[in-house]
Amino acid sequence: MGIVAGLDSSPDFTRIVVCDSDTGAVLRQGYAPHPVEGRPSDVDPQAWLLSLGEAAGGGLLEGVQAIGVSAQQNALVPLDAQGNTVRPALVGGDKRAQVAAADLVDALGGREAWAQAVGCVPAAAQPVTKLRWLAKSEPENARRTAVLLQAHDWLVWQLLGRPVRRTTDRGGASGTGYWSAATGAYRPDLVELALGHQAMLPEVIGPSDAAGTTPEGLLISAGTGETMAAAFGLGIGLGDAVVSLGASGSVMAVHPEALADQSGMITSLADATGMHLPVVTTLNAVRTLRGTAELLGLPDLESLSELAMKSTPGAHGLVLLPYLEGERTPNLPHTAGTIAGLRRESMKPEHLARAAFEGMLCGLGDALDVLRGRGVDVRRIFLLGRAAELPAVQASAPSLFGAQVVVPQPADYAAIGAARQAAWALGVSQGALDPRTPPAWQGAAAQVLEPGDELPVGQAVRQQFTAVREQTHPGAFRV
């Protein structure tokens, strides 16, 4: 079929991979940082185009027949009736919008009402919440806003020469707070609730559809958000979950249907293939490890891992509930962390180090149980993030999660997923691929870890953690 490209416009940079459309083999790569200092909450979208142009320099895209676009999620680009940006894009977590999130939850009648309406409860990061903030804080800009796009929508529109038709995909739309993965439809009433008036929304096209063709004949696929693109690049399917270890943590899995969760613990996203990606988030993952390393006077996480390996599973009865920044899963926004099981024999640095790793992983295990409790099949877990390489994580994760753990080699999975989407759209346009079946690319190179004989040990550690959690926060966690 030829060669295709995938570009990932993350919060900090643009990365481009050029791949063989049949096998997915990466042939060439490009990279450029965004010309933006730090991570501001307001970014001129032109910065994304500038780094895209730089990353694509040197003939990188020569011979490419189709391009897929992945981009940071939750970035809201408000346009006026002429297609000009009303103000810089609102990006990131944007703590300015926290009050707006609470306002919106109340305005619709509570968390359950939002979960039923669009599969998620408004948080500060989501576009619907940023619209509410815009209406309250910048009413003149809100009044001028006529069109709503996200980062990947805007980039696709620019690559196509700013046509009249504007498009998005299910994955990106599912994170807005005004599109329902369950019904596959927008909720314009929620846009009006947040912004104060209606706005034009991009057409949601299918996973294998093309957004259009450039004047030069380059096919542009639907595009999607970074999370969906990374899942597609990893090649996850039914029975797979992804646990991401960042400062906070997240657990997502592929599921055939949308999950409406009355508690709001599950965010019901759509994936890049026509399936669904229910996500459960924890506020405390690697920040737990970093805090423990600082407390113990250790220079880095590798040293903390080495120390933890001198302890044994269960950390001599020491349990750390890692709710350092409050917690979302379980919903304990105003709590703090807890250390339990202090005895003379457990008061050693190595046991605290071990308890930090086990507490982080047990918290993520609780998030996994939320999905399992709703019928999500989890047989294999992809573990992502730099902390996934740590021996103390790899020694404990399979038995604590109760499943095979796959640690993929570091790669640009979001860009690869975008390229795979481009290959799919190209193949469908040529009549070589089924619109319902994506190209079968080689999966990620990975290390595979089995729970094996350690499974009962892991279950005992989870029980120890659960007992302390229930004693400290009775009834807070319901699967």
pTM of the model: 0.93
| pLDDT computed for residue 443 by the predictor | 83
> What span, in angstroms and rounded, lies between the C-alpha atoms of 220 and 106?
40
- Distances from the Cα of 462 to the Cαs of 50, 76, 321, 369, 473, in angstroms? 49, 40, 12, 11, 16
Residue-wise pLDDT tens digits, 425-455: 999 999 999 999 999 998 888 999 999 999 9
And the tokens for 98? 């926290």
User: What is the sign, positive or negative, of the torsion defined by CA atoms of 261, 399, 397, 418?
Assistant: negative
> What span, in angstroms and rounded, lies between the C-alpha atoms of 385 and 249?
10
Which of these, 338, 250, 330, lies nearest to 286 by C-alpha position?
Answer: 250
Kind of pairing between the strands at 167-169 and 76-79: unpaired
Phi, psi of 29 (to 5 degrees): -140, 150
Query: Are the C-beta atoms of residues 423 and 4 closer than 8 Å to each other?
Result: yes
| pLDDT computed for residue 260 by the predictor | 80
- Distances from the Cα of 384 to the Cαs of 243, 274, 419, 443, in angstroms? 6, 23, 20, 15
Helix axes 98-108, 127-137, angle to 10 degrees: 100
157-162: long-range pairs with CB below 8 Å, 24+ = 158/49, 159/67, 159/69, 159/214, 159/218, 159/220, 160/211, 160/212, 160/213, 160/214, 160/220, 161/214, 161/215, 162/83
Phi, psi of 171 (to 5 degrees): -60, -50
> What span, in angstroms and rounded, lies between the C-alpha atoms of 443 and 453?
27
The one-digit pLDDT tens for each residue of the chain (479 residues) are 699 999 999 999 999 999 999 999 999 999 999 998 888 899 999 999 999 999 999 999 999 999 999 999 999 999 999 999 999 999 987 789 999 999 999 999 999 999 999 999 998 899 999 999 999 999 999 999 999 999 999 999 999 999 999 999 999 999 999 999 999 999 999 999 999 999 999 999 999 999 999 989 999 999 999 999 999 999 999 999 999 999 999 999 999 999 988 777 899 999 999 999 999 999 999 999 999 999 999 999 999 999 999 999 999 999 999 999 999 899 898 999 999 999 999 999 999 999 999 999 999 999 999 999 999 999 999 999 999 999 999 999 999 999 999 999 999 999 999 999 999 999 999 999 999 999 999 888 899 999 999 999 999 999 999 999 999 999 998 75
Residue-wise pLDDT tens digits, 319-363: 999 999 999 899 898 999 999 999 999 999 999 999 999 999 999
Phi, psi of 146 (to 5 degrees): -120, -20
Number of H helices, E strands in the chain: 15, 24
Q: Read out DSSP for 225-266?
A: EHHHHHHHHHT--TEEEEEEESSSEEEEE-BSS----TTS-E
Helix axes 391-401, 301-308, angle to 10 degrees: 60
Query: Are the C-beta atoms of residues 73 and 175 closer than 8 Å to each other?
Result: yes
- The reply to whether omega before 474 is within 30° of 0 (cis) is no
Neighbours of 314 (CB within 10 A): 21
Helix axes 349-373, 286-295, angle to 10 degrees: 170
| Coarse DSSP helix, strand, coil percentages of the chain, rounded to the nearest 5 percent | 40, 25, 40
Query: Are the C-beta atoms of residues 322 and 331 closer than 8 Å to each other?
Result: no
> What span, in angstroms and rounded, lies between the C-alpha atoms of 197 and 135?
10
